Structure 1
Amino acid sequence: TQTYARILLGEGLFTLREAAVGFVAGVIIGLALAMVLVRSRWLDRGVVPYIIASQTVPLIAIAPIIVIWGRTNFDFLPWDWQDWMSVSIIATYLTFFPVAINGLRGLKSPAPADLELMESYAASWSQTMWRLRLPAAVPYLFAAFKIAATASIVGAIVGEISAGVSGGLGRRLLNEAFNYTTGPDRLYASVIGAAVLGIAVFLFVVAAERMVLGQQHREAI
């Protein structure tokens, strides 16, 4: 019904907020980590295996821990810590990985001749990063953003289900699963709503990719 569609829209926006915060935080952390690792081969070899290993931890197991940790360890903040913020941390956990790994590949992608040319100009590390490495990494980063955007939705929904958050599509899915025998159509609608949200954020990143890469192509011409 139209009323239930509005309920799903509200829950979807709740989940989207959690996922968006997690996505932005994950992109910042992942890209910063990639920039640090590309500067040191020793750090690259030592840290990347741990980054990969971090993704083997079951999300359902750590979600309640993150929520409890958030409730008890952020009393010093000037605002009240809310459970949805902990869910955003869970989304960040899933998001930073593809950005860090693909970002590292992209930052390493410039040809040795291009790097030598920057050295011949006496370019600093930061100048080489901003003028050569980051532009070369843009296609790799957008590939990571597509994965990260959908992963942030998955992380938010799983976090809502396992962390006991009061709203969101994850909580709605859990509630409708309990009431499946009396209203199966609502469970199916909730599943479709979650899928639509994931597809929507993916298409948003695709549109942004076409705009940015298209602009780069026009500037190159």
Structure 2
Amino acid sequence: MQAETAPASQSPAPSPAHSPGAGPRESDDLIVRDQFIRLQAARERRRARTRRIVRQVVVLAVFVCLLGLAYTAYKAFGTAIDDAQSGWLLIGSFLPETTDLKMPPVLDILAGIFEEPRGTGDPFWTIVASEAAFTLREAAVGFAIGVVVGLCIAIALTTSGRLERALVPHVIASQTIPLIAIAPIIVIWGRKSFDFLPFEWQDWMSVSIIATYLTFFPVTINGLRGLQSPRPENLELMDSYAAPWGQTLWRLRLPASLPYLFAAFKIAATASVVGAIVGEISAGVKGGLGRRVLLEAQRYTTGPERLYVAVLGAAALGIFVFVVISTVEYALVGRKGREPAHGQYGT
């Protein structure tokens, strides 16, 4: 019996994998397939990053709400037992009293954000925002100088093991000096000893130097570790090509150090804000958050909530610079910037 055959004009039904929108077929060009896979991976990365950002914002909002609830609950509890007068010795002795002067209610703090101080005519948050921008300029200059100085020191230490062993302890010891002790010295130097410069030295420049003092240390230590992170076989490969030291630094060591450097940049950026605020308080520089915190501390009895708002403004400035560095990190190195493992770069 002859086997039945299908008519020649009849073609097999297309498989689901070959339907439109299902992606390239096995017979497609490899370049097209590779491009399709890259686009799919890029979409997945964007979705993952969006989910991560939303999750971080939600976590921060929940944390702030919980902190406000804990603050309110502690104040309500202390008020209910009349602080230490009811025999509960922690409140009023080891913990702050819950009076409205020492712990203003959360609603009063929120209202203080939009309050117009006497003689200004502007909401308080606009005043804090403008002063935060002034402090940000000082911190940014200090951060930039600190990054350059710290990275130069790290590169110099990479060239010699003896130099590293001799100088690293001194770099570490430099951070044991209290910042509030050296801040007035730097300000006085700026006012008395920099007359030879072709421009007039201003106090905010001294504040930037104070911010540099806190910035260069994490960049130096993390930069040194990052520059030493390439695998020995990668260094041997560069040596086999007779690559000069500068080319090895630029093509291998610096790319390998990016995850370590950006981790240091995040610490240094927030530290530069702290240095700028402390420097403003020590130097009496007007126009910044440090001066605002000092003024509101002196006027605390007439408006305690404004001091809380100023402190919250300083915290928001620190979060802002951290987010900026994280955004730059993702733009330059992507996901690898959060994985400081050996072999990520230069392999």
Which bracket does the TM-score occupy, shorter chain normalised? over 0.9
Which residue identity is paired with 1:87? V
SS of the residue corresponding to residue 181 of structure 1 reads: helix
Cα distance, 1:79 vs structure 2 = 1.1
Q: How does 1:77-92 map to 2 (within 5 A)?
A: 77-92=197-212
Which runs of 5 or more residues in structure 1 are unaligned? Answer: none
Q: 1:42 aligns to what?
A: 162
Match of 1:184 in 2: 304
Q: How does 1:47-196 map to 2 (within 5 A)?
A: 47-196=167-316
Q: Segments of 4+ in structure 1 off by > 2 A?
A: none
SS in 1 for 2:230: coil
Distance 1:58 1:165 in 2: 20
Letter in 2 for 1:18: E
Q: Distance in 1 between matches of 2:273 and 2:335?
A: 28
| Identity within the alignment, % | 68
State the SS of the aligned residue for 1:166. Answer: coil
Superposed CA deviations along residues 39-93 of structure 1, whole A, max 9, x for unmatched, are 0111100000000000000000100000000111110111110000000000000
Residue 139 of structure 1 deviates from its aligned partner by 0.4
Deviations 1:189-220 (A, max 9, x none): 10000000000000111111111112879x99
> Which of 99, 124, 129 is the equivalent residue of 1:4?
124
CA contact (8 A) 2:191 2:202 kept: yes
Structure possessing the higher radius of gyration over alpha carbons: 2
Gapped runs of 5+ residues in structure 2? 1-113, 115-121, 338-344
Checking the alignment, whether the CA contact within 8 Å between 2:184 and 2:282 is kept in structure 1 is yes
Supply the RMSD in Å over aligned alpha carbons: 1.5
Letter in 1 for 2:159: R
Task: Give, in whole Å, the separation in 1 of the partners of 2:182 and 2:292.
Answer: 21
Question: Which structure has more helix as a fraction of its residues?
Answer: 1
Q: Distance in 2 between matches of 1:164 and 1:178?
A: 14
Partner Cα separation in structure 2 for residue 216 and residue 108 of structure 1: 18
1:167 to partner: Cα distance? 2.1
Question: Deviation of residue 10 (structure 1)?
Answer: 1.1
DSSP-derived class of the 1:142 partner: helix
* Deviation of 1:185 (Å): 1.3
TM-score of the superposition, structure 1-length normalised?
0.96
User: 1:7-26 counterparts in 2 under 5 A?
Assistant: 7-26=127-146
Shift of 1:3: 2.1
2:259 touches 2:336 (CA, 8 Å); kept in 1?
A: no
The one-character-per-residue Cα deviations of 1:2-37 (angstroms, maximum 9, x if unpaired) are 521111111101100000000000000000110000
Distance in 2, matches of 1:216 and 1:112, equals: 21
- Please say if residues 212 and 272 of structure 2, whose CA atoms lie closer than 8 Å, have aligned partners that are also in contact: yes
Distance in 2, matches of 1:3 and 1:11, equals: 13
One-letter amino acid of the structure 2 residue matched with residue 101 of structure 1? I
Q: What is the CA deviation profile of residues 131-155 of structure 1, one whole-angstrom value per residue up to 9, with x for unaligned ones?
A: 0000000000000000000000000
